[in-house]
Amino acid sequence: MRIHFKTSYDHDIRLFPDWWSFLVYAALVAVAVALPWIMDDFYLGEVTNVLIWAIAGLGLMLLTGQTGQASLGHAAFLALGCYSCVIFMEQGLPFLIAFPLSGILTGIVGTLIAIPAIRMHGIYLAIATIALSILADDVIVLMAPITDGVSGKFAPMITIFGIEIERWTTPDRFYWLVLAITILCTLAYRNILRSPLGRAFAAVRDSEVSATAMGIHIARTKAMAFGISCAITGLGGALMGFYAGAFNNETFSLVISITLLMMIVIGGLGSIHGAFFGAVVVAFLPQALSMGKDLIGGGSVAIPGLETGVFGAILILFILFEPMGIYGRWMKIRIWFELFPFARKDMFKRQKSYLKTERLR
Amino acid sequence: MKPLLEIANATLKFGGVVAVNDLSFSVEEGEVYAIVGPNGAGKSTVFNLISRFYQPYEGSISFDGQNLLDRKADAVADLGIARTFQNIELFEHATVLQNLLVGRHRHRRTTLVEEMVFAPRVRREERKHREAVEEVIDFLDLQPYRDKMIAGLPYGVRKVVELGRALASGPRLLLLDEPASGLSVEETQDMRWWIDDIRKQMGITVLMVEHDMGLVSGVCDRVLALADGAKLAEGTPAQVQADPAVIEAYLGAGAA
Amino acid sequence: MDVLQLLVSGLANGCVYGLIALGFVLIYKATEQVNFAQGDFMMLGAFITLGLTNAHYLGLPFWLAAPLAICIMAVLGYLLDYFVLRHLFGQSQTAVVILTIALGFVIRFVAGAIWSHEPQTLESPLAIGDFNVGGVVLGMADIAVIVVTVLMTFFLYQFFQRTKLGLAMQAASQNQMAAYFMGIPVKRVQGMIWGLSGAVAAVAGILFASKGAIDPNAGLLGIKAFAAAVIGGFGSLPGALLGGLIVGVIEPFAARYLAAGYSQIAPYALLLFVLVFRPHGLFAQVRTKKV
């Protein structure tokens, strides 16, 4: 077991607790950067997909994992990010301006939507966001003059300082672009977590009364969480659009919203790792299923609902047996090895609690 | 000298039930003031009035010459009023250190954008917050628990952490809602020294609700006895304990 | 006459939404959990009846198959609580929400695998044709839906208000610990309520399938039932029915009088409208936490 000898408060403020973990993450980034020379284009595309889902997942994680607000409507913000980025570019803005602008716009819209939404609790917020996700589909169709409705849009070529980036013709450049954005989003997320705002989010999640007594403005903090969450998700959505190449009103459906929420639950709520772990599951599940089908000789017959069904089953198993998600399991295995042979089974036992509601009847 | 906290003719009703009835009292700067009374006397309700969780039906509450009723619940902390809760309201899924740092929230000076890029100013501020929190940790002997999650801590420690979180905000007035309830004899003794030191070393005014008369008479300058939301008696602990009305309210009619 | 016709078909649809919403509300009242798979329960109930009745499958007589299906769904509901939901004590409401959504996916997949994704019709004696009453076409199935729904709401309401078990169910949700010490077998009571809501879902499914074809995606109707439950106020049984009727009636009228594209969003727009102005539903039941 590694022991941190802390000699300065900066040890707790720094991004990495010690040199070892810095080296691990540096190595991880180095491998990630070198990936296009190691992998073929197909798998590189899959990894790109993982990273894009992870960005979108980070956005939702900030809201659900850190602030405790479950949203089942984040596909609407994926759509907003995607459409706004592409429309800005069609108006002649370069990608480097259109992309952040789409994130900011999504964040602002998210904050505006949050103003009524934050007064809702638990299931009501979940239901309202479901409605939002369904409405987004119809709104895109109604706004056909701008969004081209059902026929959809094609993602334009990205040009950064004269370098052309496109998913199919230059998968390596597209991958690097996505990787850079992923790292930036992760850093921003991490920075928020280690500063007062991140703690305010956790405070709102765990106890609204005492957060208020500590001087935290609940509504403003939740709206901020909503805004930042939507902004990050919007960026993810824009990249999703470029990854898909073409998209229409059905690309960002309610199922995508639900998948996103399930993804971060499977990955592990409240941790950055969780968003990435979950994204791996989402992105590679179809591959794994088709491989499984080949194994049992199912051939290429598409079974409708198989993917979502299996995904749902995985989620149920996780909630039942490992509510902390893949990240929680990973931590337990790590601790088990670090303490070897002193780890005991009861160490991770869950506390039982009872329901007591504030309902009047 | 003007009192630090002044409550005048406060009345609060829930439906038809009068929870606080025409209550007036004031707390002087630098004193330890206790509110005692049987269950349901409205003690915690008084705290919730000061914290602005409840809106009084009538009356006024002022702190350091400012009208508290002009402020929302989340703006009370800014004046330097911190509190603890009867049933402990900590942030369960965070460490002790993080809980105490939330106490510093009212001193947040950095903006969202600065925090996103973790600008040098954020780092400087974080160090300052941390130093303030470490002082509290030293004061309350919380060092062994610094990086522990609240969810795994025993009750007595949580109680201290909550006191620490309130202290970390650097308050002028500290509201303690039953600081000794559920604590062992030793822990209650610790709490007593701490409350004494909070007043003497830190110069913080303390207003507390407490059942333990031993603790109350040990640390308090003045005591207010409540019954059915109204003032029964006020004075030094000895005076209040000897008051016939108080004895009757506690022990029932005929005992006096 | 035109308006009357729209009203009747709207009411019949609304009753189905109301029945699904009843299922939500039952569970919410007794366990404070929300079953987002209630729509899929309804679909499953319909398919089980179809599998028992239709000549293509087992070919049992309808009046035997329907009660059997209701019993099967009740048992499934109880087992679901026994094996899954009981183990979620202490986890957040979000966990239950996401779990039941996932459950819906699984049910949809299983139903598709067993009964295929092609729309099928239930060979129901209720679907015997239409009457013409003064120019208004009334389906026998529509009438059955309305009658059964009103009766069920009434009896469930009486059950919760009057019987010991119903009161125990409410007590169990409001303070589990206290209810337990009062001698209420909290776990068994919760299992029973899940069973009951499974049975209600089966009834809804049978009625819905008598009105037209069903396929595994029929469970998505649950979302509209959600809107119904919220509009009517979660936690109130007559409210759920009322909400269902409102949503049911709005739909055909919106389709008739609003431009295409706007009509299908009407129920959701109403839902959002209600939530914005009454964040806790029309009949608020949540008060702020006491400290």
Q: Of A123, A135, A282, A350, which to mutate for an interface test with C (greatest number of C Cβ within 10 Å)? A: A123
Question: Is A78 part of any domain?
Answer: yes
Cα of B133 to nearest chain A Cα, Å: 11
Asked if A194 has any chain B CB less than 8 Å from its own CB, the reply is yes
Interface of B with C in 74-93 (CB under 8 A): 85-87, 89
Find chain A residues with C-beta within 8 A of C182's C-beta: none
Pair B126, A195: CB distance under 8 Å: yes
Find chain B residues with C-beta within 8 A of C291's C-beta: 44, 48, 53, 85-87, 89
Please indicate whether, in this complex, the C-beta atoms of C97 and A123 are within 8 angstroms of each other. Answer: yes
Q: Which residues of chain B have pLDDT under 50?
A: 254-256
C289 to chain B: closest CA residue: B53
pLDDT digits (tens, 9 = 90+) for A129-164: 988 998 998 889 888 888 888 888 898 888 888 888
Asked if C177 has any chain B CB less than 8 Å from its own CB, the reply is no
Tell me, what's the pLDDT at A355? 47
Number of domains in chain A: 1
Tell me, what's the pLDDT at C122? 82
Pair C220, C208: CB distance under 8 Å: no
CA distance B19 to B12: 6
pLDDT digits (tens, 9 = 90+) for C44-94: 999 999 889 887 788 788 888 889 999 999 999 999 988 888 877 667 777
Rounded to 10°, the helix A254-267/A325-339 angle is 10
Hey, is C236 helix, strand or coil? coil
Interface of C with A in 172-201 (CB under 8 A): 173-178, 180
pLDDT digits (tens, 9 = 90+) for A201-233: 999 988 889 999 999 999 999 999 999 999 999
Identify the band that residue C288 occupies on the pLDDT scale cut at 50, 70 and 90.
very low
3-state secondary structure chain A: CCCCCCCCCHHHHCCCCCHHHHHHHHHHHHHHHHHHHHCCHHHHHHHHHHHHHHHHHHHHHHHHHHCCCCCCCHHHHHHHHHHHHHHHHHCCCCHHHHHHHHHHHHHHHHHHHHHHHCCCCHHHHHHHHHHHHHHHHHHHHHCHHHHCHHHCEECCCEEECCEEECCCCCHHHHHHHHHHHHHHHHHHHHHHHCCHHHHHHHHHHHCHHHHHHCCCCHHHHHHHHHHHHHHHHHHHHHHHHHHHCEECCCCCCHHHHHHHHHHHHHHCCCCHHHHHHHHHHHHHHHHHHHHHHHHCCCCCCCCCCHHHHHHHHHHHHHHHHCCCHHHHHHHHHHHHHHHCCCCCHHHHCCCCCCCECCECC
Lowest model confidence (mean pLDDT) among A255-264, A278-287, C112-121, C169-178: C169-178
Please indicate whether, in this complex, the C-beta atoms of A123 and C261 are within 8 angstroms of each other. Answer: no
Higher pLDDT, B161 or C253: B161
Q: Which of B82, B115, B131 is closest, CB to CB, to A195?
A: B115
Tell me, what's the pLDDT at A289? 85
pLDDT digits (tens, 9 = 90+) for C209-235: 888 888 888 888 888 888 888 888 777
pLDDT digits (tens, 9 = 90+) for A36-52: 999 888 889 999 999 99
Asked if A192 has any chain B CB less than 8 Å from its own CB, the reply is yes
Cα of C195 to nearest chain A Cα, Å: 20
CA distance A308 to C103: 10
Specify which residues B7 forms β-bridges with. B25, B61
Please indicate whether, in this complex, the C-beta atoms of C285 and A141 are within 8 angstroms of each other. Answer: no
Tell me, what's the pLDDT at A217? 93
Q: Which of A68, A135, A141 is closest, CB to CB, to C268?
A: A135
B48 to chain C: closest CA residue: C291
B51 to chain C: closest CA residue: C291
Cα of A3 to nearest chain C Cα, Å: 32
Tell me, what's the pLDDT at A357? 44
Q: Read off the pTM.
A: 0.90
Q: Tell me the H-state helices in chain C.
A: 2-31, 38-53, 62-83, 93-115, 140-162, 164-174, 176-181, 186-211, 221-232, 237-257, 266-277
How large is the average pLDDT for residues A20-49?
Answer: 91
Please indicate whether, in this complex, the C-beta atoms of B105 and A9 are within 8 angstroms of each other. Answer: no
Tell me, what's the pLDDT at C290? 52
Q: Which of C106, C230, C289 is closest, CB to CB, to A358?
A: C289
How large is the average pLDDT for residues C249-267?
Answer: 82
Q: How many CB pairs under 8 A join A and C?
A: 169
Tell me, what's the pLDDT at A293? 78
CA distance C219 to C204: 11
| Structural domain spans, chain C | 2-220
Q: Give the distance, in angstroms, between the CA of residue A268 and the centroid of all CA atoms in the same chain.
A: 11
Looking at residue C128, the DSSP 8-state letter turns out to be -
Q: Is 80 exceeded by the pLDDT of residue C127?
A: no
Question: Is A246 part of any domain?
Answer: yes
Tell me, what's the pLDDT at C198? 93
Could you give the ipTM of this predicted complex? Answer: 0.89
How many Cβ atoms are within 10 Å of A17's Cβ, its own excluded? 13
* Contacts (Cβ under 8 Å, ≥6 apart) of C59: C53
Q: Of A3, A214, A228, A269, which to mutate for an interface test with B (greatest number of B Cβ within 10 Å)? A: A214
Tell me the average pLDDT of chain A: 87
Asked if C288 has any chain A CB less than 8 Å from its own CB, the reply is yes
Q: Which residues of B make CB contacts under 8 Å with A? A: 51, 53, 73-78, 82-83, 85, 89-94, 97-98, 101-106, 108, 110, 112, 115-118, 122-123, 125-127, 129-131, 134, 151, 165, 169
Q: B: neighbours with 3+ CB pairs under 8 Å?
A: A, C
Question: Is A26 part of any domain?
Answer: no
Asked if B55 has any chain C CB less than 8 Å from its own CB, the reply is no
Cα of B181 to nearest chain C Cα, Å: 15
Asked if A90 has any chain B CB less than 8 Å from its own CB, the reply is no
Q: Which of A308, A310, A353 is closest, CB to CB, to C89?
A: A353
CA distance A17 to A12: 7
CA distance C123 to C115: 15
Q: Which domain holds residue A330?
A: 38-348
Please indicate whether, in this complex, the C-beta atoms of B105 and A216 are within 8 angstroms of each other. Answer: yes
CA distance A215 to B74: 4
* Contacts (Cβ under 8 Å, ≥6 apart) of A22: A15, A16
Q: Which of C110, C216, C286 is closest, CB to CB, to A358?
A: C286
Pair A81, A103: CB distance under 8 Å: yes
Q: Which domains does chain B have, with CATH numbers?
A: 1-80+171-256 (3.40.50.300), 90-170 (no CATH)
State the pairing for strand pair B32-36/B81-83: unpaired
Find chain B residues with C-beta within 8 A of C288's C-beta: 53
Q: Give the distance, in angstroms, between the CA of residue B104 and the centroid of all CA atoms in the same chain.
A: 16
Identify the band that residue C104 occupies on the pLDDT scale cut at 50, 70 and 90.
very high
Question: Is A354 part of any domain?
Answer: no
Hey, is B8 helix, strand or coil? strand
Residue A220 is encoded by which pair of tokens?
A: 């403003």
Please indicate whether, in this complex, the C-beta atoms of B93 and A205 are within 8 angstroms of each other. Answer: yes
pLDDT digits (tens, 9 = 90+) for B91-130: 988 899 999 999 999 999 888 989 988 999 999 999 999 9
Identify the band that residue C236 occupies on the pLDDT scale cut at 50, 70 and 90.
confident
Tell me, what's the pLDDT at A299? 60
CA torsion A145-A147-A151-A152 (nearest 10°) is 160
Pair A64, A269: CB distance under 8 Å: yes
Cα of C163 to nearest chain B Cα, Å: 29
Find chain A residues with C-beta within 8 A of B73's C-beta: 212-213
Tell me, what's the pLDDT at A244? 92
Higher pLDDT, A315 or A341: A315
Asked if C247 has any chain A CB less than 8 Å from its own CB, the reply is no
How many Cβ atoms are within 10 Å of A156's Cβ, its own excluded? 15
Please indicate whether, in this complex, the C-beta atoms of C173 and A352 are within 8 angstroms of each other. Answer: no
Tell me, what's the pLDDT at A298? 62
If you average pLDDT over each of A34-43, A293-302, A349-358, C168-177, which comes out highest? A34-43
Please report, for the domain that includes residue A134, its CATH number. 1.10.3470
Q: Is 60 exceeded by the pLDDT of residue C143?
A: yes
How large is the average pLDDT for residues C93-106?
Answer: 88
If you average pLDDT over each of A67-71, A111-115, A236-240, which comes out highest? A236-240
Interface of C with B in 250-289 (CB under 8 A): 288
Question: Is A291 part of any domain?
Answer: yes
CA distance B100 to B150: 11
Find chain C residues with C-beta within 8 A of B48's C-beta: 291
Tell me, what's the pLDDT at C160? 81
